[in-house]
Structure 1
Amino acid sequence: MESKEFDESCVDQFASAMKRKLAKKREEGRGGWSNKEDCPKDRLIKMMSDQFDKGDPINVANFAMMLWARGEGTAYSKDQSPEQAYACPECRSDMTPSDEADRELKPWYCHECGFNEPEALP
């Protein structure tokens, strides 16, 4: 197979895998990434960054696609740190990583209203 054909075949297969993963996540109730107010750029970047350590390139690619489709890059805003990238679904305040010494708290906690994310985000 020629280089161009191989490249295009790989891209087609990868895009299909991305679509399957997006469909699965929609069925699980995920969505809203296109709304910049409800899902700020820095939150998407943090979610994408977390996927590198999890090892699934399809997840990384889907978050990159979301940013690309919104016309945004992959660099955090100058005033934003990765830890501040999650907003509480209850009060919209920044969620922060829980204190690992407190086993009662889940991975993400809102100090404003006390909301406790039941599992690691995303």
Structure 2
Amino acid sequence: MKNGKICFLIDDDIDDQEIFTLVLESVNPSITCITASDSIEAVQKLTTEETFNPDYIFLDLNMPRMSGKECLQEIKKIDRLKEIPVIIYSTSSEQKDMLETRALGASDYLEKQSSIVELKNRLAHYFK
């Protein structure tokens, strides 16, 4: 693993995972991106692997089995992760989703971008 920070991306869309990981690598190659394909897998990893403490968590909202909002609530119950920023990463531009996730403890809300350049600009905001 690289010596830099760890970003944990929780997203059921494999294409979105690949794009996010590639763009993040171009923004800051020292950051390692670890992915989970759904919320249940992510919560299991975060609760059972006590040494896994990502520096950032990016979380999709619309996922099968357990929604992003439910996942956010589970993450916030884990004491060692309380201070880790959880950024919602979703296609939803609904004000309601933004307000609800903030109320549940999300640090920020990043709408998925159709342009790789725009995603790169947004990720540079967090990782430069």
Q: TM-score, normalised by structure 1?
A: 0.26
Greater fraction of residues in strand: 2
RCO higher in structure (CA 8 A, sep ≥6): 2
